């Protein structure tokens, strides 16, 4: 991957949304909600503490499956290498799954 996050930012690939409801109804694209779950592809080196000059390590790592807020991150599309990803701050992650 050609993307390298800076500071406390992380790169996440969002899970694919379901095309059908639990009852078997096909959901059109306009009505689909984007999943708030994804896999971390890359992490930055950590936030810089301005007083001491040291890096604060991140709580997440590459490969973690996480839940994040619905408004989190900026979408980035790179069709050549990684497809569509989200770039967000670690603070937008609510939980690590499993």
Q: Can you give the pLDDT at residue 88?
A: 94
Residues sharing a CB contact under 8 Å with residue 59, sequence separation 6 or more, in sequence order: 90, 93, 96
In a domain, 50, yes or no: yes
In a domain, 39, yes or no: yes
Would you state the torsion angle of the CA atoms of residues 81, 86, 88, 91, taken in this order, to the nearest 10 degrees? -120
In the structure encoding, which two tokens stand for residue 59, read together?
């709580």
CA–CA distance, 67 with 81 (Å, rounded to integer): 24
Residues sharing a CB contact under 8 Å with residue 31, sequence separation 6 or more, in sequence order: none
Q: pLDDT tens, position by position, for the chain (98 residues)?
A: 578 899 999 999 988 766 665 677 776 666 566 778 999 999 999 998 889 989 999 999 999 999 998 888 888 886 666 678 899 999 999 999 97
Q: Can you give the pLDDT at residue 94?
A: 94
In a domain, 37, yes or no: yes
SS3 96: strand
In a domain, 70, yes or no: yes
In a domain, 1, yes or no: no
Residue 87 is part of which domain span?
Answer: 9-16+31-97
The total of structural domains in the chain comes to 1
Q: What is the CATH number of the domain that holds 71?
A: 2.30.33.40
């Amino acid at each position: 991957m050609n993307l390298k996050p800076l500071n406390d930012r992380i790169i996440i690939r969002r899970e694919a949304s379901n095309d059908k409801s639990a009852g078997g109804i096909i959901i059109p694209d306009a009505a689909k909600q984007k999943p708030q779950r994804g896999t971390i592809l890359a992490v930055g080196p950590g936030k810089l503490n301005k007083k001491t000059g040291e890096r604060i390590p991140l709580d997440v790592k590459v490969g973690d499956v996480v839940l994040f807020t619905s408004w989190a991150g900026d979408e980035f599309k790179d069709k050549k290498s990684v497809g569509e990803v989200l770039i967000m701050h670690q603070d937008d992650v609510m939980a690590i799954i499993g």
